[in-house]
Amino acid sequence: MRTVTRVLSLISALALVATFALPSTGLAAKIRLGFGGGPEGGTFQYFSNGIASRLSKMQADLEVSNMASAGSVENARRVNSGEIDFGISYSGDTYLARNGRLTNDTNKYPNVHAMAFLYGAPAHLIVLDGSGINEVADLAGKRIAVGGAGSGAAAAAQRYFGAIGLWDKMNVEFIGYSKAAAAIGDGLIDAMWVFAGFPNSSVIQAAASNKIKILSTYEDGKKGGAFEQYPFYAPLTIPAGTYSGVDYDVKSFQDSALWVANKDVAPEHVYNALANIYTKEGLSYMVKVKSTAKAMSVKGALTGIVTPVHAGAQKYWKEQGLTLTMDQMGH
């Protein structure tokens, strides 16, 4: 009987030792984080998928999943609620969301904190050559695709065209970029609005199948007071030759695409994520994912941010020698 008891005790002891030894075998549960990107064919999707893939590969204890999204505004809302941990949102949408000024939405979204500037996203306003649409005002009564419902592109379109008095005069279609590129060639729409870094794959798609024109939007916006009403927009030129058949400079305006996080994501996760991406190797990898990532740099990491920066990001950027503004520090 004593022998049996000793054997059972030994078995129990070994089981206990094995239980406590498990973490050292690398079987500890991974930390899982969600990253909100954007519509298929959009720059957001390339960036979110690229960042998520690299973080999951480089950090053994981390799994970051790229999540489907309509884009900027949806990402701000979902990051704010904690439904997703990371996202990409325009600086303008982040600012307006924080202050209860989103289109048709007075709710405030204070939990969205910036991590870093990714790239400047200019407005592309595309029509077919020979359509008779030669300037922005000609869009009155026309069918225009402005991006998916809930996307940053659609929100930017409503702000811009609303400010210059055209929003209610156009037939607005909430269609994603890839579908819009096909629709304009099929004559289902007269114009497509793309609010994304250049060169954009959907604009390339439209230009490959059709002779297109890209209308300049800056002067009309300036005259209409759009940039006084929305000061986070800045002038930008899309250079001649960026797209096939467009051999002239296009005077447009841009917002800043930001990598954002819920304020309650652990500071070390945010810090480590930035340390993985904003290195020579990480930035080189991102340029291979999408050439738009050439805009990313340590020096310019706080560009366009007018809202609070996440605590983990503040620590990282201060260590890189950057100085944060009072708004970025949340004061």
Instruction: Kindly give the confidence (pLDDT) of every residue in the chain, 331 residues in length, as a single tens digit, with 9 standing for 90 and above.
Output: 544 444 444 444 444 444 333 443 445 588 999 999 998 878 899 999 999 999 999 988 999 999 989 899 999 999 999 999 999 999 999 999 999 988 889 999 999 999 999 998 899 999 999 999 999 999 999 999 999 998 878 989 999 999 999 999 999 999 999 999 999 999 999 999 998 888 898 999 999 999 999 999 999 999 999 988 887 888 889 999 999 999 999 999 989 999 999 999 999 999 999 999 999 999 999 999 998 899 999 999 998 898 999 999 999 999 999 999 999 999 8
User: Is 107 within a domain?
Assistant: yes
The Cα 67–Cα 36 span in angstroms is 5
Structural domains of the chain, count: 2
Task: Provide the CATH number for the domain around residue 237.
Answer: 3.40.190.10
Looking at the structure, tell me whether residues 126 and 232 fall in a common domain.
yes
Domain-ending residue, one of 225, 255, 285: 255
Q: Does residue 218 share a domain with residue 297?
A: no
Boundary (domain end) residue, out of 200, 232, 255: 255
Give buried/exposed letters for 105-126 (b at 16+ CB in 10 A, else e): eeeebebbbbbbbbbbbbbbbb
Whether residue 228 is found in the same domain as residue 305 = no
The answer to whether residues 164 and 223 belong to one domain is: yes
Nearest of 317, 265, 323, 260 to residue 113 by alpha carbon: 260
Would you call 168 helix, strand, or coil by DSSP?
A: helix
195 touches 236 (CB < 8 A): no
Are 67 and 180 within one domain? Answer: no
How far apart CA 111 and CA 113 sit, in angstroms, is 6
In the structure encoding, which two tokens stand for residue 317, read together? 């950027």
In a domain, 85, yes or no: yes
Domain that residue 288 falls in:
32-119+256-329
Classify residue 241: in a domain, yes or no: yes
The tokens for 327 are: 């708004």
**Residue 205 domain-assigned (yes or no):** yes
**Structural domain ending residue among the three candidates 195, 224, 255:** 255
Q: Please state the length of the chain.
A: 331
